[in-house]
Amino acid sequence: MVTKTVMNGTFDLPVSFKGESYFFSSRLLQHGYTHKFVVDVNGQPVYFEPDEERNYRAIIETADIKSNKELNLELLKAIAHAIEAIAK
């Protein structure tokens, strides 16, 4: 089975984190009936996909986590919440 992948243009995702406002370059990837968001977090692409309850989770390679000390778990949660807000 062949699935068509559609990539839309990039957009700035607004995220509030620790009282500050940030904008992360992002894009939506659509694969058939599913989708993912790719967010550039401090130069590291992080994929966010919906789980069974339609909450977004971050998908990151273990090697990328170890090599990029700027990936903060709380920041990733804030990004996931921002995606949930725009995806509704």
| 33-51: pLDDT as tens digits | 889 999 999 888 999 999 9
Q: Are 12 and 26 spatial neighbours (Cβ–Cβ below 8 Å)?
A: yes
Q: Are 20 and 9 spatial neighbours (Cβ–Cβ below 8 Å)?
A: no
Q: Are 56 and 48 spatial neighbours (Cβ–Cβ below 8 Å)?
A: yes
Count Cβ atoms below 10 Å from residue 48 Cβ, excluding itself.
23
* pLDDT band, very low/low/confident/very high, at 5 (cuts 50, 70, 90): very low
Which pTM does this prediction carry? 0.83
Q: Are 14 and 39 spatial neighbours (Cβ–Cβ below 8 Å)?
A: no
